[in-house]
Amino acid sequence: MKIKQTQLLDDLISMTKTHIKRAEELLKLNETQLNYKKDENSWSILECIEHLNRYGDFYIPEITAKLSGSSNSSNTYFKSGVLGNYFAKSMMPKEKLNKMKTFNTMNPNNSSLNFSVLDKFILQLNEMLDILEKSKTTDIQKIKTSISISKLIKLRLGDTLRVVIYHNERHLQQAEKIN
């Protein structure tokens, strides 16, 4: 995938702003609705969001650290890496969500959760907006970030941003289908 860096970042900013609005809509539900589960193995709305928070706890500091150590030089185009593009595409929701196994540390199933999960998620989304704005003055192809499954694998920052934001979209869609 090759795309203008400004277009990619603008698209990701737009998605993140939409995610904030959707998360704020979830705040209108009561705790019973937010914790409803179809069965013991499925996730509630809050569990979907807590799952995203756990990934945010890894990626936001990781990306912030890499951005703070970078120089101010942006690139006109962003070219996705093979592995990064694969991960990003695999996160994009499909018509019928393909199930994926998650790591135990990222699995919130049967956790005791409340509205603070949504508050934290909205805070993380706002932090992501700041990251995306700062990314406009850097080369998101040149900066490399670790990924949550292995510190040995590094993705281009543009791919990491796509993975995180597409992952958010995936689980927001899952959460919105509950009830």
**Residue in 12, 166, 7, 1 with CA at minimum distance from that of residue 90:** 166
What residue numbers bound the domain in which 62 lies? 2-176
Asked if pLDDT for residue 179 goes beyond 80, the answer is: no
Mean local confidence (pLDDT), 129-145: 95
Q: Rounded to an integer, what distance in angstroms lies between the CA atom of residue 141 and that of residue 98?
A: 29
- Opening angle at CA 79, ends 19 and 74, nearest 5: 80
State the average pLDDT over residues 30-40: 94
CB count within 10 Å of CB 50 equals 23
pLDDT of 27 strictly over 90: yes
Instruction: Report pLDDT digits (tens) over 72-127.
Output: 777 789 999 999 999 999 998 877 656 666 766 676 777 889 999 999 999 999 99
CATH code: domain of residue 61: 1.20.120.450
pLDDT value at 69 more than 90? no
pLDDT band at 130 (very low <50, low <70, confident <90, very high): very high
Q: Which of these ranges, 12-16, 38-42, 109-113, 137-141, has the smallest mean pLDDT?
A: 109-113
- Mean pLDDT (the chain) is 91
Residue whose C-alpha is closest to residue 92's, from 178, 146, 15: 15
Residues above pLDDT 90, as percent of the chain: 76
Nearest to 160 by CA among 73, 64, 21: 64
pLDDT the model gives residue 10: 98
Q: What pLDDT, on a 0 to 100 scale, did the predictor assign at position 92?
A: 87
**What is the percent of the chain with per-residue pLDDT over 70, rounded to a whole number?**
94
pTM: 0.93
> For the segment 151-166, what is each residue's pLDDT rounded down to a tens digit?
788 999 999 999 999 9
CA distance 82 to 124: 27
CA atoms within 13 A on the CB side of 123: 9
> Token pair of 127, please?
């932090």
Longest dimension (CA), the chain: 50
Task: Count how many domains the chain has.
Answer: 1
Give me the phi and psi of 127, to 5 degrees please.
-65, -40
160 — alpha (psi -120 to 50), left (phi > 0) or beta?
alpha
Residue 27 tokens, joined: 């705040």
CA separation for the pair 131, 136 (Å, rounded): 9
Please check whether residue 138 is in contact with residue 66, taking contact to mean a CB–CB distance below 8 angstroms.
Answer: no
